Amino acid sequence: MEIANAVDIPVFAQHIDPCEPGSHTGAMLPETVKASGAVGTLINHSEKRMILADVETALQRASKARLATVVCTNNAAVSQSAAVLSPTMVAVEVPELIGTGRAISKVQPEVVTRTVDLIRKTNSSVHILCGAGISSGEDVSAALKLDTEGVLLASAVVCAKDPEKILFEMASAAVREK
């Protein structure tokens, strides 16, 4: 709640568990995330993979709690499988590029293109992000040119000497492409 109060931008949680309130000690409920001021949550992040049935349950639970959802995936086929479950967004990230600074949008654009194709024909209401190695405004431009609507990233900003500068560069690139 302190984070949500401290910033003006929408805050997403890193994970929710697919549980109802009850006997789930140590679990993160969608209701808790919502009450903390978050507007949405990641689901199935590469560092917090979930069982297929739990991805579906978590999406249902998040929807009831009025949380936007970003399901993270590792390739085009899994992205299509996730899109069937109607999350708000799907974010495709090639595992071997995560944290490398080598951007998916430049090094493996065909994964992004195929993901966009498969999701569009399966569930056109799902927004598409890509991630893994995104570290410059140029990488963001490349991602948007591939017909995604945004990127998912962490290390490039979190570990940057000047996070504000790199964020501004990326945001400017995004504005230019729209």
Instruction: Work out which of 18, 30, 33, 44 binds a copy of itself, going by CB under 8 A.
Output: 44
Q: What is the DSSP string of 104-167?
A: HHHH-HHHHHHHHHHHHHH-TTSEEEEESS--SHHHHHHHHHTT-SEEE-SHHHHT-SSHHHHH
Stretch that binds a copy of itself, among 37-45, 102-110, 125-133, 160-168 (CB under 8 A): 37-45
What's the CA gap between 174 and 138, in Å, rounded?
9
- Beta-bridge partner residues of 71: 43, 90
Of 7 and 51, CB closest to a copy of itself: 51
3 state SS of 82? helix
Residues 74-113 within binding reach of a copy of itself (CB under 8 A): 74-75, 77-78, 80-82, 84-85, 99
Stretch that binds a copy of itself, among 47-55, 130-138, 160-168, 169-177 (CB under 8 A): 47-55
Task: For residue 159, give the nearest of 178, 137, 134 by alpha carbon.
Answer: 134
Instruction: Work out which of 29, 30, 56, 61 binds a copy of itself, going by CB under 8 A.
Output: 56
List the end-to-end C-alpha distance of the chain, in Å, as a whole number.
Answer: 32
For the bound state, the minimum distance from the C-beta of residue 106 to a copy of itself, rounded and expressed in Å, comes to: 22
Of 38 and 144, CB closest to a copy of itself: 38
**Which residues are catalytic, by number?**
45, 93
The residues binding a copy of itself (CB under 8 A) are 1-2, 14-15, 23-28, 42, 44-56, 73-75, 77-78, 80-82, 84-85, 99, 122, 154-155
